[in-house]
A and B are shown apart, each in its own frame.
Chain A
Amino acid sequence: MIEQKYDVIIIGGGPAGLSAAAKAVENGLKTLLLENREMLGGIPFQCVHTGFGIHCFKEDLTGGEFIARLIDRAVEKGVETMVKTHVLKIQVYSALEKTVYAASPKGFLKIQAKAIIYAAGARERHQYEIGLAGDRPDGVYTAGEAQALMDVYGVLPGKKIVIIGSGDVGLIMARRLAMERAEVKAVIEVLPYPGGLTRNIVQCLNDFNIPLYLSHMVREVKGSERVEKVIVTRVGEDMKPDGSFEFELECDTVIVSAGLKPDVDILEKIGVETDPATGGPVVNEFYETSVPLVFTAGNALVVNDLVDYDVEQGEAAATHALKLLGDYLSPRLEWRRVERGRNIRLIVPQLVSGSKDVVFYSRVQYPEDNVRLTIRETGFEKRFFKVKPAEMIRIMIPAEELAKARRGKITFEVVR
């Protein structure tokens, strides 16, 4: 058995985990990073498109270029890493004593750590989670699966494609497949507005003449061995078929791009409280979960739309880990709960002290123009020309402002 002791174990070797690891080592913490796939890098590794690193490197990089830099940086700092290492269980004995059990070809691991930074990312919602009915033929993929298949393994999933869901990965896959001369028949979105960034609607669909059907759903998939066609139907405001319009699209492949879900099963097993709005853990301003010195960052915390945010959260988690490891005996802060008011779908962190500047990441429920983001208790407000669910709001609120809220909660809302 491999038994070792570390200050911090980082679970997940994607953008958030690599950034957290580099920062933790820089901060002088004895650090081990565990990755369950065969190589470091996480999801950007399979992204041949650009749009990575605009904030953190001030350059527009492909996923591969971007993640290579993060890996290089972690290696330069001397981060200790293990790949093909899958965490089976975490056991918490006390604030400073945790054991991580993991399987790896090198052996069974039992590693002691004071702190854990959980950065295992998110998983894709699949056909059954979105209630895709009909036959269950081969040829239905999640967007990320199709992406890996094409751009890591060089396999074309199909020739005639229908994409369900207008999330960013789906839009990028629409373009990617069109570039390979596949016939992308349509993108079908059940909501009345697109799920992805505007730049992706323009660059991935409009530029390639791919139709986007809003307020439509795939009612049924047909096909005995392979997908043969889908039946698309218009939906009403309740998102159920309204019977007004229905048509068929012949295709051999269906790609489901219905968003991501933070992958936190292993944290739930140690009693970490989760937020139904984000699907991730409830965290305080240190990205610490309800279990002391268990931190989270990146898509495991909240599904980000810019990879730069994952990097920022990873680095912040490592810095917070250093701080809290240093003064874990000091009295715990009193938390003000961050509440979701009008048109706020989600917001992290969910707990703040009022003694520290905090960067909030939030999404609205539905698109609106000319609105103000306000904090009800303090009177803070900021104007927004446009808000939409696809575009995460990142906003820094100074400690003084947060301290003004005395009544134990801070309510964010979008008002006209």
Chain B
Amino acid sequence: MVGETRVAIIGAGVIGASIARVLSRFENLQVYVLDENYDVGGEASRANSSVIHPGHEEDPDNQPLRAKLCTEGNALWRRWCMELEIPVKWVGELMLFERNEDEKEAEKYVEWAHKNNVAGVRILREEELFEMDSSINRNVKGGVYAPTAGLISPFEAVVALVENAVDNGVRLLTETRVKRIVVRNNVVVGVETSKGLIETDIVINAAGLNADEVSRLAGVEPWFRIKPRKGEYIIFDKEAEPKPSLVLHTMPTPITKGVYASTTVHGNLMIGPTAEDLPYEKKKDTSTSLEGLEHLVKEAGRILCKVPPRSRIIKFFAGLRPEPPDGKWLIKAYSQPYGFINVAGIRSPGLTAAPAIANHVLSLITETYGLRLVEKKGWRPFRRQIACVSEMDYDILEKHISENPDYGEIICFCNNVSRAEVSEAIERMRRIGVKTITFDGVKLRTTAGFGKCQASRCKIRMALLISEATGTPLCNIIMKKSSIGVGGVKTLWTQNKESMKND
């Protein structure tokens, strides 16, 4: 291929967004990101453990690709988080065991760490553990310490990646559902979407849970199916104790990395996930259950000195991990059809590996399709975070208010989010190409509505600000997927009057 090459990435999750950022570096690539939702990062990327894994839990023999990209991804996120101002903290993790006989199993991870080039992994015993983190249950006998683990805000990571990619020329197309991959003479020529045909030379399938269907649209890997694996999580209020200083978790089982207890980058104790394999067709079932809740409280009780009471829970939710056959990621560039690339079945540690996966995809493109890529001269590596009142020193806040009074108008009383931040979030959503500004999108970008009252005091006022900014009537403002109201207060009177007339 010569001249400008067009690339369409399907899916604006953390994988698609990472690939978009990496590809935005090149002069001769024109990159589109397609997503069927109103906003980016809407599925697995927003509902997970938020952990950047060290890489010592990946089996180097059975899962060599996962092991390699996980370790590389961990290192890359350190730079990316700085460049993009993504909330992250590098706290280290402890995989805890309660029986002395588990030490043998634990040693396996030390060995894997060695093989995967993960630094600093070692086994700690009782006293050393409790000294490191006082929130650990005193029944715990030992643990595998991995100093390179981190905690990230996964949704904000996707937003930052997309903002940066768009800033560097990538175009985002939301509310765009892929219907068909158009292949002519065994060569990809376009993607037919709900919004029309997009002509392209390369299609990258990063469609998360739906990546198996997209792969079939391209006519490859008909055997490949993604199973949704549900994980439920609980979040406690900011004052609830304990607040682990490290990422703590139980020993992995064949299907999960165990139950995690950690203090999120926003300062809340979070526990989870459960692990429940759902039937193939249940790709939208993110329901929670009281059983799941009880299971998590019980499991977390094994590793935490205490679990806060139910009354301190401010939210529970569930996410679906896209589980491929044998847990094997499918990352492959095809020559039949020429130009199609699968980045499918990216289960854990997908979030961790995302930057490394993106680089890997870049090398697949150049190697498989022989592209000679030219670096952009003015490529911008940096992206600024939204300035938030809750993190400002008072003299800084004073300065902000004197320059823009909206910083003094607090909208979310739990997390002290100002009107200026809400406006900025709306503006940024527009800038990346989001067409429908949802309450949910603003909430996730500002943390407004994430406190103790769960938006019961700010929901309407935030919806009003969106209404003002977009000109959409208040009752039509979309919360997550449906509108805040069904019409004016007298709607049903008018409707009934009309139906009476018709009778």
Fill in one digit per residue for B449-465: 1 if any A CB lies within 8 Å of its CB, else 0: 00011101101100010
Taking a contact as CB atoms under 8 Å apart, the answer to whether A131 and B290 are in contact is: yes
A86-B416, A131-B293 as given contacts; A106 in contact with B287, CB under 8 Å: no
**Which of B290, B317, B416, B474: most chain A CB closer than 10 A?**
B290
A138-B479, A149-B460, A252-B486 as given contacts; A131 in contact with B397, CB under 8 Å: no
B309 to chain A: closest CB distance in Å?
10
- For window 288-312 of B, CB contacts with A under 8 Å fall at 288-290, 292-293, 310-311
A182–B495 CA distance with the chains assembled, in angstroms: 11
Q: What are the residues of chain A within 8 A of B224 when measuring CB–CB?
A: none
Spot the interface stretch: B151-159, B346-354, B402-410, B428-436.
Answer: B402-410
A133-B288, A181-B493 as given contacts; A84 in contact with B394, CB under 8 Å: no
A103–B496 CA distance with the chains assembled, in angstroms: 47
Fill in one digit per residue for A94-108: 1 if any B CB lies within 8 Å of its CB, else 0: 000000010111111
**A36 at interface by CB-CB < 8 Å:** yes
Q: What are the residues of chain B within 8 A of A222 when measuring CB–CB?
A: 287
Q: What are the residues of chain B within 8 A of A299 when measuring CB–CB?
A: none
Taking a contact as CB atoms under 8 Å apart, the answer to whether B484 and A128 are in contact is: no
Taking a contact as CB atoms under 8 Å apart, the answer to whether A148 and B453 are in contact is: no
Give the secondary structure class of B's interface.
mixed
Taking a contact as CB atoms under 8 Å apart, the answer to whether A126 and B482 are in contact is: no
Q: What are the residues of chain A within 8 A of B407 when measuring CB–CB?
A: 103
**Which of A103, A106, A159, A182: most chain B CB closer than 10 A?**
A103
Taking a contact as CB atoms under 8 Å apart, the answer to whether A156 and B492 are in contact is: yes
- For window 293-342 of A, CB contacts with B under 8 Å fall at none
Q: What are the residues of chain A within 8 A of B288 when measuring CB–CB?
A: 133-134, 136
Residue of B at shortest CB range from A154?
B489
**B4 at interface by CB-CB < 8 Å:** no
Taking a contact as CB atoms under 8 Å apart, the answer to whether B389 and A155 are in contact is: no
- For window 453-499 of B, CB contacts with A under 8 Å fall at 453-454, 456-457, 459-460, 464, 474-475, 479-493, 496
Spot the interface stretch: A17-25, A139-147, A199-207, A360-368.
Answer: A139-147
**B119 at interface by CB-CB < 8 Å:** no
**A76 at interface by CB-CB < 8 Å:** no
Contact for B410 among A103, A129, A137, A139, CB less than 8 A: A103
Contact for B456 among A84, A126, A152, CB less than 8 A: A126
Taking a contact as CB atoms under 8 Å apart, the answer to whether A226 and B482 are in contact is: yes
Q: What are the residues of chain B within 8 A of A151 when measuring CB–CB?
A: 489
**B501 at interface by CB-CB < 8 Å:** no
Q: What are the residues of chain A within 8 A of B316 when measuring CB–CB?
A: 128, 133
Taking a contact as CB atoms under 8 Å apart, the answer to whether B408 and A103 are in contact is: yes
Taking a contact as CB atoms under 8 Å apart, the answer to whether A158 and B486 are in contact is: yes
**B221 at interface by CB-CB < 8 Å:** no
Taking a contact as CB atoms under 8 Å apart, the answer to whether B398 and A129 are in contact is: no
B44 to chain A: closest CB distance in Å?
16
A103–B159 CA distance with the chains assembled, in angstroms: 28
**B315 at interface by CB-CB < 8 Å:** yes
Q: What are the residues of chain B within 8 A of A110 when measuring CB–CB?
A: 394
**Which of B313, B410, B414, B488: most chain A CB closer than 10 A?**
B410
Taking a contact as CB atoms under 8 Å apart, the answer to whether B401 and A128 are in contact is: no
**A80 at interface by CB-CB < 8 Å:** no
**B314 at interface by CB-CB < 8 Å:** yes
A105-B401, A126-B456, A135-B287 as given contacts; A84 in contact with B489, CB under 8 Å: no
A129–B413 CA distance with the chains assembled, in angstroms: 18
A177 to chain B: closest CB distance in Å?
9
Contact for B464 among A133, A153, A265, CB less than 8 A: A153
- For window 376-414 of B, CB contacts with A under 8 Å fall at 389, 394, 397-398, 401-402, 405-410, 413-414
**B239 at interface by CB-CB < 8 Å:** yes
A150–B288 CA distance with the chains assembled, in angstroms: 29
Fill in one digit per residue for A145-185: 1 if any B CB lies within 8 Å of its CB, else 0: 10011111111111100000000000000000000111000
Q: What are the residues of chain A within 8 A of B464 when measuring CB–CB?
A: 153
**A1 at interface by CB-CB < 8 Å:** yes
9 closest A-B pairs (Cβ-Cβ)?
A155-B485, A86-B410, A105-B405, A225-B481, A108-B398, A181-B492, A226-B482, A138-B482, A155-B475
Residues of B within 8 A of A (CB): 239, 284-290, 292-293, 310-311, 313-317, 389, 394, 397-398, 401-402, 405-410, 413-414, 416, 418, 452-454, 456-457, 459-460, 464, 474-475, 479-493, 496
Residues of A within 8 A of B (CB): 1, 36, 84, 86, 88, 101, 103-108, 110, 123-124, 126-129, 131, 133-139, 142, 144-145, 148-159, 180-182, 219-220, 222, 224-226, 252, 265, 268
Other 5 A-B pairs with CB < 8 A, given A86-B413, A181-B492: A131-B310, A133-B288, A153-B460, A154-B489, A157-B486
Report 9 cross-chain contacts, Cβ distance below 8 Å, ordered by A residue: A101-B394, A124-B456, A135-B286, A153-B464, A156-B489, A157-B486, A180-B489, A180-B490, A224-B481
